[in-house]
Chain A
Amino acid sequence: MSMDRAAIYSRIIELIEPINAKGVALAEGTTFAGDMELDSLTVMDLVANIEDEWDIVMPLNMLPDLETIGQVADAVAKLVK
């Protein structure tokens, strides 16, 4: 499957919308813990949805390096290749 980074990014934004309780403006540099104030459980649930969306494995030990939406999009883009 080849999917470009832009398409991945916009789909990730769609997956994040429902948990964006604070109504933060979502951008490449938006952070999950800092800007969106998501707790670790919510982030892990989001990861599960992302894994299912692209049928990939994103191990939890990757999460400390994925602070922004853009970083998650990069990681997904790499994994779907």
Chain B
Amino acid sequence: MTDLLAKFDGLIAEHAGLLTAGVRDPFGIVMEKVLGPTEAIIKGQHTILLGTYNYMGMTFDPDVIAAGEKALREFGAGTTGSRVLNGTYQTHRECEDALKEFYGTSHAMVFSTGYQANLGMVSTLAGKNEFVILDADSHASIYDGCAMGNADIVRFRHNSAEDLEKRLRRLPPEAGKLVVLEGVYSMLGDIAPLKELVAIAKAHDATVLVDEAHGMGFFGEHGRGVYEAAGVADDVDFVVGTFSKSVGTVGGFCVSNHPKFEILRLVCRPYTFTASLPPAVVACAAASIRKLMHAHDKRARLWASTRQLHGGLKARGFRLATETPESAIVSVLMPDQETTVRMWSALINMGVYVNMSRPPATPAGVFLLRCSICAEHTAAQIETVLGRFSDAAAATGLFREAAE
């Protein structure tokens, strides 16, 4: 029998090589206890969480928990069915109502994850002999949506309005086109110049979809995302988002004012052919979304902590992926895989969890330690983190290597 997993031997060896003596596995973290949005016990150790996407700290919000508990008791643990059959409860309806209110749109569709929302929307909107035009740094779920559908896929250079223009110009003017953008790109934490990109897409009669996974809750007047802050809401046809970040639970969605939007429930396979979210989850999401509408204090605290971390790391000599804090993701540039793992390991041993990212998840062979900030982080926690970053750099010789 051929070992079908033999094709991964190279990766198995690489991963084993990563775990040189004394280095912890960056992909094997278990949280034994979760003390709140910003702290957990990992291997018995009190750890500050700085890599969670829990931007608005809603996971332990008392109103969110209460809504979930009530739905769990009243509607049970799960729906055991598809949204289009037996899997739409009053809770799902109310969650979509909350989304419509939050985004000011006439339609909202809740998927089981954000990954599935992108998979479904991208593969369904653009069909044969039509085009998807996507940013080179797009999230895996967008690339996978392209792979699943039948459209021709055209990729433009990351955040380059000029490159998008050039590629749109080469396409047949009459062909259907879907331009897919993200508000925040989660690897480097940079934001898209949506004003320019959306204007170019519209000048070429393209439909525009923006993924606001990492912008919901704290960009724009209503917290709708970077597209709202950029003032292009009227020209964005579909917004995709997730409950797994600012909302603080799990699930994905698409909102739109398109008059024919509802038909997507029947033709979008990642929506139709999977079980709907448990009622407790959508009840948590609805409660959280309604609170995020008015979360001005949290937004202010999130941005203040982000500036503190970004400025502090820069002052300590770390190289960051963005010159200024553009989003609630602060990415620290690392020289190579080995140093990244040693830095990451030193930090976790000191009680700081950050995300380690490497190619192909990252663009252009970049190695990163990614920090994501939570509105519930205190100034004291950020100071502690900054001190530990310096200690970890000293312990691993990061700056010595960088200077060589």
A7 within 8 A of B: no
With both chains docked as a complex, state the minimum distance between the C-beta of A31 and any C-beta of chain B, in angstroms.
16
Q: Mark A28-49, 1 if CB is under 8 A from B, else 0.
A: 0000000000011100110110
Stretch in contact with the other chain, from A8-16, A54-62, A65-73 = A54-62
* A52 in contact with B166 given A57-B154, A59-B154, A61-B152 (CB within 8 Å): yes
* A60 in contact with B153 given A41-B364, A44-B136, A52-B166 (CB within 8 Å): yes
B166 close to A61 (CB less than 8 A)? no
Cα–Cα, bound, A45→B152 (Å): 17
Residue numbers in A under 8 Å from B151 (CB-CB): 61
Residue numbers in B under 8 Å from A57 (CB-CB): 152, 154, 167, 170-171
Q: Is the interface of B mostly helix, strand, loop or mixed?
A: mixed
A59 close to B152 (CB less than 8 A)? yes
* A40 in contact with B157 given A57-B167, A59-B152, A60-B146 (CB within 8 Å): no
Q: How large is the interface on A (under 10, 10 to 19, 20 to 34, 35 or more residues)?
A: 10 to 19
Partner among A39, A55, A61 whose Cβ is within 8 Å of the Cβ of B170: A55
Residue numbers in B under 8 Å from A39 (CB-CB): 359-360
Count the B residues whose beta carbon is within 8 Å of the partner chain — how many?
A: 20
Residue numbers in B under 8 Å from A60 (CB-CB): 146, 153-155
Smallest Cβ-Cβ distance to A52: which chain B residue:
B166
Cα–Cα, bound, A13→B136 (Å): 23
Residue numbers in A under 8 Å from B170 (CB-CB): 51, 55-57
Residue numbers in B under 8 Å from A48 (CB-CB): 136, 155-157, 163
Residue numbers in B under 8 Å from A61 (CB-CB): 146-147, 151-153
Cα–Cα, bound, A57→B157 (Å): 14
B78 within 8 A of A: no
Smallest Cβ-Cβ distance to B150: which chain A residue:
A61
With both chains docked as a complex, state the minimum distance between the C-beta of B164 and any C-beta of chain A, in angstroms.
12
Residue numbers in B under 8 Å from A44 (CB-CB): 136, 155
Can you list 13 pairs linking A and B with CB atoms under 8 Å apart?
A: A39-B359, A39-B360, A40-B360, A48-B136, A48-B163, A51-B167, A55-B170, A57-B170, A57-B171, A59-B153, A60-B146, A60-B154, A61-B151
Q: A55-B170, A57-B170, A59-B152 are in contact. List 14 more A-B contacts (CB 8 A).
A: A39-B359, A41-B363, A44-B136, A45-B136, A48-B136, A48-B156, A51-B167, A57-B152, A57-B154, A57-B171, A59-B154, A60-B146, A60-B154, A61-B152
